[in-house]
Amino acid sequence: MITIYTVSSCTSCKKAKTWLNAHQLTYKEQNLGKEGITKEELLDILTKTENGVASIVSSKNRYAKSLGVDIEDLSVNEVIDLIMEMPRILKSPILVDDKRLQVGYKEDDIRAFLPRAVRNVENAEARLRAAL
């Protein structure tokens, strides 16, 4: 099952949910502003990142700026505690399942959540259209 971590005002979150619905993929939405995130969920996400905390925390958003600290100067445990206190410092949306993680909405990348058989059919159809 796909879990999508969202923020209410996020247009990329809305696009990701629209895409998931259009492709009839079931998902569980978790609003970071209302429901927060658990330490276990954060650790699961971090194990799937390429660049650790830098992959999921937005140091440019207003919530992170309001903290007045450089997140890169903090230990991983301190960052986890900080995220749990203020989950809106996370980039959004974050989509995760048993194997995959996507941060932000990129239509080419979100396709990884499609079952392989569906991706293969769509890719074959696209190649056929391109050949015509």
Q: What is the pLDDT of residues 71-85, one digit of tens each?
A: 778 888 998 999 998
Query: Is there a catalytic annotation at residue 10?
Result: yes
Q: Report the amino acid identity of residue 110.
A: I
Taking phi first (over 0 means left), then psi (-120 to 50 degrees means alpha), and beta for anything else, what does residue 68 get? left
Q: Measured in whole angstroms, how far is the alpha carbon of residue 82 from the centre of its chain?
A: 18
Rounded to a whole number of angstroms, the distance between the first and last alpha carbons of the chain is 37
Q: Minimal CA–CA distance to 58: which of 30, 93, 85, 31?
A: 93
Catalytic residue among 4, 10, 53, 83: 10
Highest-confidence segment of 24-33, 55-64, 71-80? 24-33
Q: What is the pLDDT of residue 128?
A: 84
Q: Report the amino acid identity of residue 44.
A: D
Biggest CA-to-CA distance, the chain? 56
Cα dihedral 108→32→7→106 (10° resolution)? -10
Q: What is the pLDDT of residue 35?
A: 94
Q: What is the pLDDT of residue 123?
A: 82
Q: What is the mean pLDDT of the chain?
A: 90
Q: Is 49 exposed, middle or buried (0-12, 13-18, 19+ CB in 10 A)?
A: middle
